[in-house]
Structure 1
Amino acid sequence: MKNYDAIFIGAGQSGPFLAARMAGKGMKVALIERKYLGGTCVNAGCMPTKTLVASARAAHVARRGADYGVKITGGIDVDMKIVRKRAETVIMDARNGLIGWFDGMETADIVYGQAQFTGPKTVSVNGETLTAPQVFLNVGARPVIPDFPGLKDIDYLTSTSIIYLDTLPRHLAVIGGSYIGLEFAQMYRRFGAKVTIVERGPKLASREDEDISDAIEDILRAEGIAVHTNADGIAFAKRGDGVDVSTGAGRPVIGASHVLIATGRRPNTDDLGLDAAGVATDKRGYITVDDRLMTNVEGIFALGDCNGRGAFTHTSYNDFEIAAANLLDGGDRRVSSRIPAYALYIDPPLGRAGITEKEARFSGKKIMISTRPMSRVGRANERGETQGFMKIIADAETKQILGAAILGIEGDEAIHGIIDAMNAGTTYPALQWSVPIHPTISELIPTVLGDLKTV
């Protein structure tokens, strides 16, 4: 049996950083990873997908060159092999950087293999038993594969496998109208494929308010993407070298060359032997944790996507920050203090912070709302990208900002002014009197705040 001060299972965006902090203090740590360091973000998520988004945007801007007085003779060709190679390079650079970083830590061992609990503080990997008073789970999540009729009979793509596609689909059918599916749909449309989105629910990006969902659909349809919502009978059948995608009785059948399944993700917790450790999960398999990220078993913590308390790289990294502050720095940080914020990386992007209008109305609070179209923003007009709008929600009594959405050019960056104000507890009248730089997207925020009205 090998003894450690801490064992980390999974090398996503929480565990390695906490392991490094502990190793820096001379503690002996083991980092167990069954595949690649870096987790989803590095290997199959943020980094490669945003690299692909950048390639797709370059093609889109090139096609629009004439709108800006830039004439490009001949057609726009997209070399999918180069597109794939760019994404692979980003993956390998980040992964190798992590490997090199850990190689320089004297008290940290990297163990590649499948870890399973044999008891509350003992873990088996590669035939060896490791033990430690603290165990941290950072095992991430994977794509959900639903039980659609005929799906097992066809070749299909997931958000992981599509990254390695080096040919252009004739017609890509994206099953699922949420964040991952929408990003790939627009991306491949810009690469030159015909694209259809099939969504079981009534709206795309169903977590958002209806006005935002509708605006997202308008943006995608304007680029020639077909959208089928309320698809209550999704099924698949092979036909020649393609696939027929049924969307329900009396609804159109889509003849696709490729199918991307983007119907959500599930935690990688079903093969860890959690029962042997007595670690509890919810009905979806997420590990239940308290406000300090500890499971029901003393000394066992769950960080990142597998705890169901956030599904983003930044929330996973914040889990590390919370655990490090509490365990190493004498702090008292809690998950419940985190203001939810995220982005949808279609183009233009959606930046979101706090709660939605729907959630604010349901809370029973007296609220104020203000919206402004991006066509009122100087930078958006200068760039010729005026789709979308800004929306801010505030508490009429406390004057605190409750939430905001910026769907528009650079919305994923401009939203940080709101996030910072919310974290600092700044009231909207105080933020209204800031003097933002012109010409920027953020300069409209005080104007939007000035138009807040009780609803």
Structure 2
Amino acid sequence: MEEVFDAAIIGMGPGGEVAADRLLSAGKRVVVFESELIGGECAYWACIPSKTILRGPEVNIEADGTAGASVNALDWEKARDYRDYMARHLDDGAQADGYAKRGATVVRGKAAIAGPGHVAANGREYLAHHIIIATGTIPVVPDFPGVEDITAWTNREVYTLKALPRSVAIVGGSAVALEAAFFLSGFGVEVTVLNRSARLLGREEPEASALAEGYLRDRGVKVLANSSVARGRRGEDGASILALREGGEIAVDAVIFATGRTPRTEGLDVARAGATLDGHGNVRVDEHCWAAEGLWAIGDVTGIMPFTHVAKYQGRIVADCILGRERSASYDGIPRVVFASPEIAAVGLTREQAEGRGIDAVSIQVNLPEAISRPWTYEQDPRGDLGILVDRHRRVMVGAWAIAPQASEWIHQASMAIRGGIPLEVLRDMAPQFPSYSEAYLVALDRLGATEGI
């Protein structure tokens, strides 16, 4: 008799791994499918190697501003080797063995849905009561004349580099672009960022975008706004030459495209199980990440919020639903972070988004060195700004952003306030640790009360 699994998981990135772990821990029969490496993009070509390799430049920036500390020459070879260690040397053998020991069936190869409860891979079909799609996304490289003639990289090439280039052009103004720019410029690479819009991080507040650009320029990065590539060609010396639509050319060793990603749904045949794709190729899901009877989707392939922590959250949602503990996903208060120096963090709505929802919102920005002690104990020439957005009528915080050291950690205070709808009166009654960056929230709220009466 053919084995029927409780769950089949297509794609073993962070979301798929969380779902698999929860289901296996509950004693369920699980089959997992992975066409590349267990751990996915995050573990090998994105989150883990990028944050690991960014640490060296970050430490030097911190040392440069710290009394009694000194900047040291960065050792690329040692940093690269540790990066490769953290990325498991692109070897997921231990992960595959670990799942097998826990009772999972591990299938290497590209999987497709053959019908409700049916997954096909390597010429064989597998039956499961539930199918979870967690196939993620792939980077988009724009198509323009000569793109095939230049040295074109995406995040995969950037975070598996063996030798550093002398110069790069980064096309894009997203978090991926900024992190790559800080990493490479920190190791002495000449970096030019080409952004087709007027400002970086276009989905965040304009104040945050302006500050981020200023910090990039402080690191020696050249930023060209309203710039796009018309065509590319190979120079006689081997350089990659980009002709810009706005005029002029740029010659670099390599061109890094941080121009978005597209869902990995081609050939998946979700319609065979009753699911549909939206106009961008994302799997449509409801508040439970349910796509069709017995079919679920999690992570970037849903197009909801393309963050690893969201994929892991959705993995928990789906696993609990399968286990009979029905949950609905809420995306209020999900933080967004760029691991630059200083870190750039945001959560909730922007002013534009609040206005689009008809929310009567008011915002305030606080320069941290002028408001609290922590920046001065952290560095001699302190940096940092915090902005908060408050719903005037509900008297709750609906958005926040921060550009300052360790902002990725203390943005979670705003995340909790937004997700829990904590009243301003409660937030004002908190007694934050002194000295800490979290004190800035109290300053911002008090100033908002003094100026706006809320």
Matched residue, 1:92: 88
| Contact 1:215 1:388 (C-alpha < 8 Å) held by counterparts | no
For residue 323 of structure 1, give the secondary structure of its aligned residue in structure 2. Answer: helix
Equivalent residues, number: 446
Structure 1 residue 329: Cα displacement: 4.4
The answer on 1:392 being equivalent to 2:393 is no
Name 1:290's counterpart in structure 2. 286
1:346 to 329, 340, 343: 340
State the match for 1:248 in structure 2.
245
**Contact 1:42–1:95 (8 Å) recurs in 2:** no
Matched with 1:200 is: 196
Equivalent of 2:310, from 315, 320, 329? Answer: 315
Decide which of 324, 334, 339 is 2:319's aligned counterpart.
Answer: 324
What amino acid sits opposite 2:224 in the alignment? H
Q: Is the 8 A contact 1:80 1:166 kept in 2?
A: no
What letter matches 2:102 in structure 1?
A: M
- 2-structure distance, mates of 1:160, 1:369: 38
Cα separation, 1, equivalents of 2:67 and 2:410? 24
Whether contact under 8 Å (1:84, 1:163) holds in the other structure is no
Instruction: Output one character per residue of 1:364-408: Cα deviation in whole Å (capped at 9) or x when no partner.
Output: 222222210122232222222533410011111111111100111
| Counterpart residue type for residue 320 of structure 1 | G
Give the aligned partner of residue 6 of structure 2: 5
> Does the 8 Å CA contact 2:7/2:130 hold for their aligned counterparts?
yes
Whole-Å Cα distance in 1 between the matches of residues 208 and 300 of structure 2? 25
Aligned partners of 2:263 and 2:143: how far apart in 1? 17
Correspondence for 2:231 among 230, 235, 247: 235
Alpha carbons 1:156, 1:260 under 8 Å: kept = yes
Matched ranges for 1:128-147 at <5 A = 128-147=124-143
Distance 1:348 1:299 in 2: 44
Q: Is 2:106 aligned against 1:105?
A: no
Return the alpha-carbon distance in structure 1 between the equivalents of residues 121 and 229 of structure 2. 43
Decide whether the 8 Å contact of 1:2 with 1:129 is kept in 2: no
Aligned residues of 1:369 and 1:454 also touching (Cα < 8 A): no
- C-alpha distance in 1 between matches for 2:315 and 2:158: 29
- Report what 1:410 is aligned to: 406
What fraction of aligned residue pairs are identical, expressed as a percent? 28
Q: 1:432–1:447: 8 Å Cα contact kept in structure 2?
A: no
**What's the counterpart of residue 334 of structure 1?**
328
- Residue 146 of structure 1, CA deviation: 1.0
Cα shift at 1:313: 1.0
CA shift at 1:24, angstroms?
Answer: 2.7
Deviation of 1:7 after TM superposition, in Å, equals 0.7
Q: Deviations over 1:260-294 (max 9, x none)?
A: 11101111111223343342111111111111111
Preserved CA contact (<8 Å) 2:346 2:400 = yes
1:13, CA displacement in angstroms?
1.4
CA apart distance, 1:351:
1.5
Tell me the equivalent position of 1:360: 354
For normalisation by structure 1, the TM-score amounts to 0.93
1:100 Cα deviation after fit: 4.8
CA distance in 1, matches of 2:152, 2:331: 40
SS in 2 for 1:164: coil
Corresponding residue for residue 205 of structure 2: 209
Of 136-145 and 363-372, deviating more is 363-372
Deviation at residue 446 of structure 1 after TM alignment = 0.8
CA distance in 2 between counterparts of 1:235 and 1:388 reads 39
8 Å contact from structure 1 (residues 36, 95) kept in 2: yes
Give the alignment of 1:161-172 within 5 angstroms: 161-172=157-168
| Aligned residue identity for 1:51 | T
Question: Per the alignment, do residues 362 and 118 of structure 1 end up closer, same or farther by CA in structure 2, a change over 3 Å counting?
Answer: closer
Alpha-carbon offset, residue 2 of structure 1: 4.3
Report Cα offsets for 1:327-364 as digits up to 9, x if no partner. Answer: 32423x22245433211111111111110122123332
Q: Which residue of structure 1 aligns with residue 123 of structure 2?
A: 127
- The amino acid across from 1:323 in the alignment is V
Unaligned runs of 5+ in 1: none
Unpaired runs of 5+ in structure 2?
none
Flag the 1:424–1:276 CA change in 2: closer, same or farther, 3 A.
Answer: closer
Amino acid at match of 1:279: A
Deviations 1:80-120 (A, max 9, x none): 332221111111189566335413313x1111111112222
* CA distance 1:447–1:95, change in 2 (3 Å): farther
Counterpart residue identity of residue 294, structure 2: G
In 2: Cα distance, 1:9 partner to 1:140 partner = 10
Q: Secondary structure at the match of 2:293?
A: coil
Q: Displacement of 1:236 after TM fit? A: 1.5
- Paired with 1:375 and 1:78, the residues of 2 have a C-alpha distance of 29
Moved more, 405-414 or 227-236: 227-236
Does the 8 A contact of 1:389 with 1:406 survive in 2? yes
What corresponds to 2:173 in structure 1?
177
Q: Per-residue displacement from partner, 1:24-55 (whole Å, max 9, x unpaired)?
A: 33321101111111112111111111001112
3-state SS in 2 of match to 1:169: coil
Aligned counterpart, 2:262: 266
TM-score by length of 2: 0.93
CA–CA distance in 2 between the matches of 1:241 and 1:104? 50
CA contact (8 A) 2:388 2:401 kept: yes
Deviation at 1:414, TM superposition (A): 1.0
CA distance in 2, matches of 1:192, 1:24: 47
Aligned to 2:21: 20
Equivalent in the alignment of 2:31: 30
Other-structure match for 1:426? 422
Corresponding letter in the other structure for 2:115: G
Is contact 1:219–1:387 with CA below 8 Å preserved after alignment? Answer: no
Q: Distance in 2 between matches of 1:254 and 1:154?
A: 12
